[in-house]
Structure formats: structure tokens, C-alpha cells
Chain A
Amino acid sequence: MNPDLHLWIIPLLPLAGAAINGVLGKRFSRAVVSSVALLFCGAAFAMALWVVSQFSSLTLPHTEFLATWIRAGNFQVDFSFYLDQLSLIMLLIVTGVGFLIHIYSVGYMWDDAGFYRFFAYMNLFMFFMLTLVLAANYLLMFIGWEGVGLASYLLIGFWFTKDSAASAGMKAFIVNRIGDFGFLIALFLIIQHFGSLDFNTVFQSVAPIAPETAGAGLLTTIALLLLVGACGKSAQIPLYVWLPDAMEGPTPVSALIHAATMVTAGVYMISRSHVIFERAPSALTVVAIIGTLTAIFAASIGIVQTDIKKVLAYSTISQLGYMFLACGVAAFSAGIFHLMTHAFFKGLLFLAAGSVIHGLGGEQDMRRMGGLRTKIPWTFWTMTAATFAIAGIPPFAGFFSKDEILWRAYQASWIYWLIGLFTAFLTSFYMFRLWFMTFFGEYRGELESSHGHEHADDASRAGVPAPHEHGHGSIHESPKVMLVPLVILAVLSVVGGWVGVPGSLGGNNTFDKFLGPVFRATAPDVNSNHASPGEAAPPEKQTEGTEPKTGHGTELAFTGISVFAALFGLYLAWLLYLRRPQLPQQIARSLGGFYDTVLNKYYVDEFYATMFVKPLVDGSRAILWHGIDQGVIDAAVDSSADGARDASDTLRRMQSGNVRSYAGWVTIGAAAVIAYMIWVALR
């Protein structure tokens, strides 16, 4: 019997913070608002750490029942919470990284008029995200899922007076609805066939089912519908379009929601549902294909972006593609591993980018940066750690997780590996491009004295204090409250990968072993893995947590190749953006149309606008508005009013006021009654 850990308190703490700040925050001083937000968020983190200390004494998975929520016949949904290795890791990422970003936000948002509102939303987000990862059934998970979408909407549109921010928020919300629709249908199917949404019950019912290797059956349908939901939340093709626009939000929001936590919810959901996915191999293939395509597609767009946050946004999409690829080749623990390291280094990248933007008074265009290395050294060094981590250069965190994914992808199919490897090169290239453009070379912005005025508008819109408020217009390093989280995340970006050092490099992949019980226990007996097995070893022997017996040499060679790809990206970026900065423009010119296509993000937004948005808007206008609303509903109301008026117009002529006409009516009436009586009598 497990002790009661009162897991429900963890999500409720940030909710309390959100409630206090949301209701009373307007009257609080900034110091009180930030202490409330940090207190509750930190308490959640502390409690998560306490849970870790209790973790070894638990029998897993540990479920805690709080209350019955819905009961209808045999169907029951509870407020209950689920703790196993997977949700523990998510719990730590969400509370830990979330807490650091909260600290950072205190500095970043200090001069914003909506300070209390920001922290109320952030705490609200934490509540929903924790509900999502701790839920013990799909419906409670769905509540968290929708809730983080709401928080994301509120925070993207945080500066709602700006049109682009408001519409970016709506775009995110609407695109997510498409995904959520798939998720909901999947839930309905699960209820219909398994009679429950509880993880334990559903997975126990699914476990004995044989994998649907031939053709698509129920599990494949459910898995694909879940995938639609995951694609929406985790910004995968074809539903990724909202994430780049989401950069309209404040930078800490981009770090917390659109890099570290919320967008990884799709990966978490697929990993959580791995029992279903493992028995739907064709769905897994689709996951892998979507992940691979998204990874390379987004990375290629990232190369030509000039907005520092947009580069990071496309990078996030690309990295999420890696995680999907990992899930798609049934390497769930590798996916979660990358999720974790990504939370560290991408959270850090966004925060450091925020620090750069802060230091430059709202400038986001990399073409107007440069040479910041010596001016903001702390930001530079932390960003360096993150850049090396994401590029996959050992021994930084991203190297281990990405290498693990590539290796597992190779075992499924060399095509995945090849595209993944090329994406790794692209990743390294665009990240070092960002790094060189921002921190090296000459400063390309306006003269420092004028820049405060030039960008005062940008600055106030971006919520970054306008330089004159600081009393100095020059480029400045961020305050300590922002730097401390940067440093902590930088340390994590360096060492975070060491928990998963693979056997080929002399480690024992502790992370994979830790997650093993979650994914291995329910793996199907027969070959349910990918349809096209790789040459190193048949995938069915590669269940989670087992290192391949053979092939350390091969694995090392592959590691070498991916490191080389990363270094080549570094070299190319150095060559193009530091050594010979005029070269990129020449290349762009020589590529001509293709460059324009990539620069315009492959015209996907335009394509969606023509294919879906415009028909929808036009159809709504022509059919729903003019046709149904005006043509049917308004017409029905109007014509009934017209009919009543016309009928009254006719009938009022009976009321002539003429006594003899009344007499006539009385006679006619009497005659009618008599005629009726006669008719009745004769019948």
C-alpha cells in the first residue's frame, strides 16, 4: 500500500497563486505580485522534489483518488492522479523549468503595465500543465490539455492592443481546436470500446490485443486520432503554423509554453499512450514520417529567418519533430530524454534571446545585432552553452539525446536516420548562424544614442523597458534576477545529458533504464515495431531499456558522423556569417526563387489561407451569414412579422364601426350555426 502523497496539492498550488494574483493583483505592488507567484510556483517545485524523495518507496504506477467526477451507468471518471517514472520526469521539468522562468519573468516583465496579469496567467498555465502530466485518466488530461491551450492563448495575446498579437493568439487557439477535435474523437472511441478513460483500465484492456500489423483497425484509428491531437499541440506538420506566430507573446512565455513544456505535451501524450501506439504499427510509421518531415522542413525555414525569436520557434518545431520521430520508432524513452534536454537548452535559448532583446531595448532582428559578446557576457556565455547543446556537440546535453534518437531511428530505417542527420546539420548551422550574427562581428544596429528613441515604440510594445526608463540608452546586461535562471539552465544544458550516456560511450544510459518499466512492461510480445527493420538488429529485440548486444562499434561510428555533421554546421556558419559575411547574399541571389520560397516559409501560410481560411470565411459570409442567418433565420422572423401585419390589415376591416355591418356579421354567424346544426342532424 502506497502512502498518500496528496499529489492533488501540486497543481492546486499554482492555481491558488493564479487566483490570488488574478483577483487581488491589481492592488498589490509588483514585489507582492512576484512573491506570490514565485511562492506558489516554488512550493509546487519543492513538493515535486519531496515526491522524488518518496519515489523509491512507491509501488508503481502510483494512483491517487481524490473524488468522483462523473458517474453515468458503468462509466466513471475520477479526479485522480497518476505517478510513474514518466510523469515524475514531466513533473520535474514543468515545475523546475517553470519556476526558473517565473524568476526570470520578474526581471523581464518588471516595467510592463500588466505585471500582475502576466503572473496570474503564468500560474494558471502551471496549474493546467501539472494537471495534464499528473492526470490518471484521459479526460482529466484533456482538461489540462485544453487549459494549457487557454493559457497559451491568453499569453500569446498578452499585448492584446497589438493586432498581430491578438490574431496570433486566435490562430494558435483555432489551429489547436483542429487537433483537439481528433483527440476528442479518440476519447469517444476509447469510451465506446473500453468503457473507461482511466489509464490503468484502458491499458490493461489494450495490452492483450495483438498488434494490428495487417491493415488498420480500431487501435490504429485511435492512435491516428490521438496523433492529430498531438500534432496540434506539439506544432507538427500540418498543424505547426501557429507556433511561429506565437512568438508575439512575451519571451518568457515563448520559453515556458512554446519551448519547454506545453508544446511537448503531444510527445508526452503519445508516450503515455504508448500501449496503444505499439499495437498500431502503421500509426507509428505515420508518427515517424510526420516527425521526420517536420524536423527537416522547419529546420530549413529556420535557416533564413532573421528574427531571433522566429529562428528559435522554427528550431523548436524541428526539435519536436525529432521527438516525434523517436516516438514513431517506438523509442519513447529517447523521445522523453530529448524532451527533457530540449526543455533545458531551448528554454535557455529563449531566455537568453529575451535577455539580448532586453539589452537592446526591444530589437529582435539579428541583422541589427552583432558584436554583443563583450557587451553582455553573461548572456553570451549561457547562450553559448545552449547553442552547443542544441547543435549536438559533445558533451553538451543535446548531443546525447539527439544521438540516441538518430541511432534508434537508424535501426528502424536508414531514411529516417539520413534525414535526421541532415536536420542535425541544419540545426547546427542555423543555431551557429544566430550565434555568430548576434554575438560576433561588428555591431550593426543604429548608433546607441539614437536607438532608445528609434525603438522606444518597439520596446514598449514588446514589454521591455524603454531604455530611457533605465536611465541609460546603451546596450546593457540584464539584471541578476534574469541572469540566475540563465546560469542554472546553462549548467543543466551542459550536464543534463549525462544521465543518458549510452553504452557505446561507456555510460549505462540511466535515463533509459529509469523509464524502462513504463515502456517495457506493456510492450507487445511479437514484432510490433517498425515495419522496415534496420540492419543492425531486428527492432523487436530493441525494446526500451535494453542496449543492443552488438553494434557498439557501429553506434560509435554513427555518433562520429553526427558530431561531424554538427561541427560542419558550425564551420559553415562561421565561414558564411563571420569570415565572409557577403557570401550569404550571393548564395541567396544565386538560388533565386528557391530562396524566396524558403524565406516565405514555403508559402504554407498563404496556402492555408487560400485553401482553408478563405473558403471558410467566404463560405461563412455567403452561406452562413447571407444565406442562413439573413436568408433563413432573419427571413423567417421578418416574414412572420409581415404575415401578422398583413393578416391584421385584412381582419381589421371587420371592425368597421358600422352597426348594420355588425348586424350582418351576427346574422351570418347565426346562419352558420344553424347550417352546422342541420348538417349534424342530417349526417
Chain B
Amino acid sequence: MVPVSYYLVLSGFLFACGVTGFLIKRNIITIFMSIELMLNGVNLSFVAFAAQWHQLSGQVFVFFVMVVAAAEAAVGLAIIIAVYRTRETLNVDQVNLLKL
């Protein structure tokens, strides 16, 4: 049996990757994928704890997160397509109409 701490370290690593990509990447698709990475990093720790404590609530949470992530992906990709159609770029630094 793999100790739970291994899962948690992997989970933290995935989340940190997600945060880093979220902050430094300019391509909006990449940012989007970074968010998914953070969500899945969290999901991993949920299921790890669920297995550790033999409780189903962690797995139930993971399903909720996956549903929300799916919905988010649907809306987010639609927005990204709309942005690309109007501005012909996916670079977030150039999506700056609200800038001072």
C-alpha cells in the first residue's frame, strides 16, 4: 500500500504546476489547462483521503468537482472561441480593453 503522503506530495506538485502555469502563461488555452490541473491536483488529495479513511464523501466531492470542471470547460471554451473570433489572438495581454 502506497502511503497517503506520496499522494499528497504529488497532489501538491500538480497544484503548484497549475498555479505557476496560471500565473506565467499568456496563452489563454494554457491558462485554462492550468486551472484544470489545479482542480485535478485537489481531486487527487480528495480520493487519497477517501481511501485512507474509508469514507465516500471525498469521492463524492471529486464527482462534484468534475461536473463543475466540465461545465466550466464548456462555458470557458465558448468564451475563448468568441474572444478569438473578435480579437484574433489568444494572448491574454492583448485582451486589454478594460485597461486604464
Beyond the given pairs A658-B93, A659-B93, 7 more chain A to chain B contacts, judged by CB atoms under 8 angstroms and listed by A's residue number, are A656-B99, A656-B100, A657-B100, A658-B96, A659-B96, A660-B92, A667-B22
Interface size classification for chain B: 10 to 19
List residues of chain B with CB within 8 A of the CB of A658.
92-93, 96, 99
Determine if A657 and B96 form an interchain contact, defined as CB atoms under 8 angstroms apart: yes
When distances are taken between beta carbons in the complex, the residues of chain A under 8 Å from B87 are none
Q: Is B31 an interface residue (CB 8 A)?
A: yes
- Closest chain-A Cβ to B18's Cβ sits at a distance in Å of 10
Q: Could you tell me which B residues sit within 8 Å of A by CB distance?
A: 19, 22-23, 26, 28, 31, 92-93, 95-100
**Which residue of the partner chain B has the closest CB to A660?**
B92
Residues of A615-665 at the interface with B, using a CB-CB cut-off of 8 Å, are 652-653, 655-660, 663-664
Select one of B19, B23, B98, B100 contacting A660, CB under 8 A: B23
Residue of A nearest to B98 (CB): A657
Find chain B residues with CB under 8 A from A664 CB: 23
Select from chain A the residue with minimum beta-carbon distance to B34.
A663
Least CB distance, B74 to chain A, in whole angstroms = 20
The 4 closest A-B CB pairs, nearest first, are A657-B99, A657-B98, A659-B92, A657-B96
A residues neighboring B (CB under 8 Å): 652-653, 655-660, 663-664, 667
Taking CB atoms, residues of chain A closer than 8 Å to B28 are 659
Mostly, the A contact residues are: helix
Q: Is the CB of B31 within 8 A of A663?
A: yes
Chain B residues with Cβ below 8 Å from A657 are 96-100
Report 29 cross-chain contacts, Cβ distance below 8 Å, ordered by A residue.
Answer: A653-B100, A655-B98, A655-B100, A656-B99, A657-B96, A657-B97, A657-B98, A657-B99, A657-B100, A658-B92, A658-B93, A658-B96, A658-B99, A659-B28, A659-B92, A659-B93, A659-B95, A659-B96, A660-B23, A660-B26, A660-B92, A660-B93, A663-B22, A663-B23, A663-B31, A664-B23, A667-B19, A667-B22, A667-B23
- CB B96 to nearest CB in A, in angstroms, measures 5
Q: Nearest Cβ distance between residue B69 and chain A, in whole angstroms?
A: 17
* Residues on the B chain within 8 Å of A660, using CB: 23, 26, 92-93
CB distance from A662 to the nearest CB of B (A): 9
Chain A residues whose C-beta falls within 8 Å of the C-beta of B100 in the assembled complex: 652-653, 655-657
> Chain B contacts of A655 at CB under 8 A?
98, 100
The residue of chain A having its C-beta at the shortest distance from the C-beta of B94 within the complex is A659
Residue of A nearest to B20 (CB): A667
Nearest-Cβ distance from residue B24 to partner chain A, whole angstroms: 8
Most buried by B among A656, A659, A667: A659
In the complex, A588 Cα to B61 Cα: how many Å? 114
> In the complex, what residues of B have CB within 8 A of residue A667's CB?
19, 22-23
Q: Which residue of B lies closest to A666 (CB)?
A: B22
